[in-house]
Amino acid sequence: MLKHGRTGAPAPASKQATVSRRTVLAGSAGASVLVALPDVLVAAPARASVSTAPNPDFAPAPAHFFLYGSIGPLATPGLQGWRPPAVRGAAPPAPRVVGAGIAARPARSGDGTTVAFPTVSAAPGAVSVTLTLVDAATSTLESTATLALPGVPVDASVLVRPVFAGSATVALVIAVTEPTNWHTFHKAAPDGPAVTTPTARWTTHHALAYLDRASGAFAGPFDLADAPSLAWTDAAADAHHLYLWTLREPALSVGTKQKPLPTPPTRLLTFPLGSGKPSRAARSAGAWPNGATGLVLATGEVARVADGRDLEVYSPRTGSSSRITFAELRLESARAGATTVHSRPDGTLVIANAAFGRALVVDPAASFRTVTVLDYPRPKIALGGPDAKTALSPDGAVLYTLGSAAVGGLSAYEIATGELIATTSDGSHYSGVYQLPSGTLLAVNGNDSGSQLGFFSPSLARLGASSTDMYVAEVF
């Protein structure tokens, strides 16, 4: 039976704000917190009751989290290791710089113990990728390994994505985009003089490599010889395979205006770990790849978001790709926001989109049946900044959202009932929220000189705040 906070058209804001249990907990000055959520919830079993009193002495575990972003708009991205405040009201311990000049966003291992980030070094005749692994518990270096990319010119654009594959392997998906025929031309401007503009013909191919974490050695690079392709791929991996969505570059594949050719299909390739040859190729039922990382589900299927409303689901067992649509997400909007997917311990998924103000719980083991629809007020910052507009408690029982556009702060919903069980706001409007390994919730937003950080307990009691000169893009 479908349980829902609401289906169909959004409910009036007054109804959305209805709270069934009201216990006021003092947070920081000016904050009011409606609480029906224990601070010990992080240790509670799945679908636990959330009716016990809050623990005002919640103490986060001393686990690190990592801010990824740029310090100043002219800098290349970096990574900082942080810990939440040890006690309420205290400042968080001083962060440490973990990486600089990072080539692409990091990845965190499935068990959360390791963070990986790539850097690219380009010298004539010696382009290479270095993958650094960081122990997430201590924020210290675990290992580094360097992979040479022979034959890659120094002016190539190298896009690297690390993908954890089980506990033993980190796959690297490398897009190499090489320029030829460099020259300049004068480009007309509608309101000024022509602009001297450099141009080249850029062509992309991909390569794969696999880091064996035990030995610290790479297998590869394996050239996929797939030029011309789009540089972006989508990827997912399990302990045995890397799944890669690729697309032949449409601009070079669709013919001419006079003689058009069909748009090439997105392909889904399955690579055994350690190999550059796909063991299976399938036609994707989804959209163009976009740099996303897919999920390996409890069912063994592989999924990714398609066009913001659907899931594409690939079955390694049958080799077929299908598209799952959800009537509850067939909503129209003038403005688009990110759709994110959280995995719950029981194998179900939470699919959320802040631009809709809606989250679904779907069950992959039951043909992706919609179990629950949860509606919440759209936040003020539903579109920009991090994609992380919601966070899921470790037991999968509570969904944290950015607070409403009118109030800001954060809200917590019991997923099983759709009830609003806690809110907090001091007037701050956040752009992202994260469930940290310490049990703490982190809310972030940009300001004139970087980002502000707010730390909250599972019951949304404010633990502290800080700021950084980093423009935080994502948190790992």
Convert 332-361 to b/e letters by CB count within 10 Å (16 or more is b): eeeeebbbbbbbbeeebbbbbbbbbbbbbb
Residue in this structure with the two tokens 């806690």, named with its chain if needed: 422
Contact indicator for 148, 174 with CB cutoff of 8 Å: no
Which secondary structure element, helix H or strand E, spans residue 96, and what is its range?
A: strand 96-99
In the bound state with other proteins, the residue whose beta carbon lies nearer, of 215 and 325, is: 325
Comparing CB distances to other proteins, the nearer of 396 and 408 is 408
Helix%, strand%, coil% for the chain, nearest 5: 5, 50, 50
Instruction: Return the number of the residue (63 or 382) whose C-beta is nearest other proteins.
Output: 382
Q: Could you give the C-alpha distances from 87 to 291, 442, 451, 464, in angstroms and in order? A: 38, 15, 22, 8
Nearest approach, Cβ of residue 320 and other proteins (Å): 21
Identity of the amino acid at 411: S
**Least distance from C-beta 405 to other proteins, angstroms?**
8
- Shortest distance, CB of residue 73 to other proteins, whole angstroms? 4
**Amino acid symbol at 159:** L
Buried b (16+ CB within 10 A) or exposed e, 375-406: bbbbbbbbbebbebbbbbbbbbbbbbbbbbee
For residue 272, which of 217, 222, 343, 321 has the smallest C-alpha distance? 222
Closer to other proteins by CB, 90 or 97: give it. Answer: 97
**What DSSP assignment string belongs to 332-374?**
--SS---EEEEE-TTS-EEEEETTTTEEEEEEGGGTTEEEEEE
**Residue 131 CB, nearest distance to other proteins (Å)?**
16
- Phi, psi angles (nearest 5°) of residue 43: -100, 5
CB of 416 to other proteins, least distance (A): 28
Give the shortest CB-280-to-other proteins separation in angstroms.
Answer: 25
204 or 270, CB closer to other proteins?
204
- The nearer residue to other proteins, 94 or 191, going by C-beta atoms, is 191
Are 288 and 279 in contact by the 8 Å Cβ rule? The answer is no
CB of residue 19 to other proteins, shortest distance in Å = 24
Closest to other proteins by CB, 41 or 470? 470
